[in-house]
Every structure is written in structure tokens, then in C-alpha cells.
Structure 1
Amino acid sequence: MSDEHSLGEVPADWPIPGQATLTAARDAALDALKDTELAGRRLGRYYDPTGNFAGATYRTVLPNDPGQITAADLFAVTLLSVRLRPAAARRLLDDERHRDAVQRRLAAVPEDADLAEADAATLVDASALYEDVKRALASPRTAKSDPWVTASKLCARKRPSLLPVRDRKVRELLGIPPRSDHRHDWLIHRGLMRDSMTLGLLRDAKTNATTQDGIRADVRDPSLRVLDVVLWTHAISLDAS
């Protein structure tokens, strides 16, 4: 099977990951999911409302208007351990040029778009949204300002079934090289979300999601977000071992 075929419809000019890259990422995801009881306990701990992980609050804290970015979105993103500088917040919330550009981009990306099946046009529009959000977050006084983590987490809150939460730990776990193009990264996640074995194990892990007190955890986030949690909690467990 060719790389392009396994990834579905991809924009013509996007950097397509090679088969070795896709296979390595899949192997890493399957390793994180192979013990579905352990993965379930990690999910339960993450989604335990009495604990200190972000859990579902990152997505559910209100208001969460799909058509604009508000102060609630900025608060939600800080729950994922990123720092938002005041000037960046003002550019997103109060600067007419940046705010209007982001709202236009959000309007172009369907609220229910799914990474596994999104067509090329939706992926292009999502990429433009990400770039405008990152542009608003970047400091105009710093030549090398690249707030890709914050931009990724903010965009993922607005379109949680389409855009993955990208951070360094998950990228390293999946074997993604530093400073790779976000479009390249998205296609790696797209490959995982189109893989039946990965999705089957993810469903089993959700079924096994229990807190430390043995209480069934309420995991209602989209599968793309839940996969990120599994990968991230697995990565930090490797750091701790």
C-alpha cells in the first residue's frame, strides 16, 4: 500500500511522511496501547475530576464557541502546561486584525471535521487556521518566536476531532523529528486514526478507564484527543522509569 493511499486524500503540496516514518509511529502507538488495562488506568487518572490533570476540562470549560477564540479558550490551554503571555492574549482577543483573521479561518473549517476522513480542502483550511493562530501568538519583537505548541493546543480545543494536540513528548515518542512541518505531523496522526488496530486498542483502553479509587472514568473526548492522552501519559511514564 502506498503512503498516499494509506493516508487518504492529501493536499498536493503537503510533505507526506515516508512508510518507515508511519510504521515507526504506529509501532510506538501500539506499544503505548498494548496493555489496555494499564492504558485505561492512565486514562482514568488523567480524567479523574478530583485529580490535577487537565482531563475533560480542557475541552469542556465554557464558553467554547466554535466560531471564535475567547478568554475561556486561553484559560483552557493553560491547563495543558503552556504559558500565554499577556501581549499574545491581547492580540488574539483585542487586536482586530488578528481576531478577525482567526474568526474567518474558524468559519472555513467545519466544526465536525474528522482527521481520519477530512478532505484536502478541509486540511488546507485547517492549516491556514493554525498558521494565523500561531502568527497572533508569536512575538513581533522576537525574530525566532515560534509558539507552535500553544498554537497546536489552542487549535485542538476548537477542532478536537480534526487537529491533534502536538507537544514535544508525543512527537518524540512517535519519532517525529524536531521542527518538522505541522502538516507532516498531522498526517502521521491521520495514519494512526485510520489504523484499525490502533483504534481497537484505544476503544478497549477507554473501556478500562478507571481512577485510582476504582471508579469508572467518564472519557467523552473525541478519539484523537484520547489517543494523545494515552501517548502523553505513556511518554511521561517512560521518562519516570
Structure 2
Amino acid sequence: MRGSMELPSLVDVGRRADAVRVLSCYYGLNGHEAHRYAGARFDTWDSAGTRGSSHNRFTADDLVAVSFLSVSVPPLAAEALLDTLADDFAELLEELGPDRDLVEERTPWAEDWVGWRLWGMLDALPSVGPTTASKLYARKRPRLRPIYDSVIAEVIGSNRWWEPLRAHLQQDPGLHPHLLSLRDDLKVPFDLSALRILDVLLWMHGKNNTTCTLT
């Protein structure tokens, strides 16, 4: 696959109405309640009511949340996240700092950047890999870390996503505000990051689910 990335026309400003319709379908909003996708729960799942106070620590709710995106965290990986390596992950998350928009990252990250170290530790968990690792990462820093999977890779034409997207947001300064404006038009009753809006649009495009059909 190429190292560069491409975005489908569904993300273009001129297709705002189509994008809002697709997002409404995914989240079951604005008359599309019957079409809500299971993945919509990824953004809000918080059975213990601790998500707001656990930014720097993985919880059982995070493991349940990624299951709504069709992945599961294997037992040994879960044990590491919640017990044996929990403090190590917490230290890295704390060093990474509060969540912030990817567009605010103006320059490429150094190889020893804490974000890469956290990524490497997640990716190295037993039987996890980049897809599940990205979804776990996105639960803790949804504005900074985009979700990656085979569908996204096929849509953008690349198996690299995070750094190319960071660079693309700098080259296209209108993309981030456009994604936020789609969120506003969606009238979603909870917070969604610009990256999550983009992820849903790319995934729905990749799955050819742009006419509000059920999965």
C-alpha cells in the first residue's frame, strides 16, 4: 500500500448533506433511530460512571467499548491493561498529557515521543495488533488518536494513518472545522471528536453503507 493517503468525496464540503445523513444513520439520530449501528455505543459507554475521571487509566469499560467496534481484547491483554501493566500505561498516559485535537500537533513527532511509546506498548499486547490498539488508544485520547482498521486502510489507500492524517490536517486547514460543523449539524447529544466524525464517514464509505441500510 502507498504511504500517502486519500480521502473520499463524502468528506468534501460540497457533500455536507450526504455526510450528515450518513452520520445520522450511524448514530440513530434525526429520524434514523431504527438504523443505529452498534459502534455508536463506543463513544458513550460508561457503565461505571468513571470515564470522566479515568483519562489516564484503562478500565473495564474501555474494553467493553471497543467490543462495539467489532474487536475484543484477549484475556492476557486485558490482564495487562487492568492489572499487571496498568501503572505503566497510566504513567505513559499521564506523560502524554490531556487530550487535544490532532490538528494542534503542528510538527512531526520524534521517534521517542511518548505517544509512540504508548502506541508501541499497546500494539505489543498479546494478540492485540494495530486495529484493537488504535481503538483502545482512541478511547483515552479521542481527539488525538484516529481509529485504524482494514476498512480505513483500504479507503485511504495506505496502511499508515496517524502521521499522514496529522500532516493532512496541516495541509488542509478547512478539514478540521468542516468535521466539527458536521457534528454541529448532526446535533449529537454527546461529545464527538473531529477524528471520530471522520472515522465514521470513512468506515461507512468503505462498507458501502451510505444509504442507511442495516448491518
- Take 1:149 and 1:223, find their aligned partners in 2: how far apart are those partners? 19
State how 1:136-151 maps to structure 2 within 5 Å: 137-139=125-127, 147-151=129-133
Alignment RMSD (CA, Å)? 2.8
Kept in 2: contact 1:33–1:39 (CA 8 A): yes
Residue 233 of structure 1 aligns to a residue whose secondary structure is helix
Instruction: Measure how far apart 1:112 and its partner are.
Output: 2.6
My pick for the range that moved more, 150-159 or 80-89, is 80-89
State how 1:74-223 maps to structure 2 within 5 Å: 74-95=63-84, 98-118=85-105, 120=109, 124-135=113-124, 137-139=125-127, 147-177=129-159, 184-194=160-170, 195-209=172-186, 216-218=187-189, 220-223=191-194
- Take 2:161 and 2:206, find their aligned partners in 1: how far apart are those partners? 17
Instruction: Measure how far apart 1:203 and its partner are.
Output: 4.0
Kept in 1: contact 2:10–2:18 (CA 8 A): no
- Take 2:144 and 2:162, find their aligned partners in 1: how far apart are those partners? 9
1:42 to 22, 28, 31: 22
Q: Which has the higher contact order (CA 8 A, sep 6+)?
A: 1
Instruction: Measure how far apart 1:206 and its partner are.
Output: 2.9
2:61 to 53, 72, 77: 72
Letter in 1 for 2:141: R
The number of equivalent residue pairs is 196
2:42 to 48, 58, 81: 58
Letter in 1 for 2:165: H
My pick for the range that moved more, 191-200 or 34-43, is 191-200
Change (3 A) 1:40 1:198: same
- Take 1:130 and 1:155, find their aligned partners in 2: how far apart are those partners? 8
Instruction: Measure how far apart 1:238 and its partner are.
Output: 6.9
Identity, % of aligned pairs? 30
Give the TM-score, by structure 1 length.
0.71
- Take 1:224 and 1:193, find their aligned partners in 2: how far apart are those partners? 11
Instruction: Measure how far apart 1:122 and its partner are.
Output: 10
Change (3 A) 1:159 1:165: same
Structure 1 residue runs without a partner (length 5+): 1-16, 140-145, 178-183, 210-215
Kept in 2: contact 1:48–1:217 (CA 8 A): no
Change (3 A) 1:232 1:108: same
My pick for the range that moved more, 40-49 or 199-208, is 199-208
Structure 2 residue runs without a partner (length 5+): none
Change (3 A) 1:206 1:59: closer
Question: Rg larger in 1 or in 2?
Answer: 1
Instruction: Measure how far apart 1:32 and its partner are.
Output: 2.0
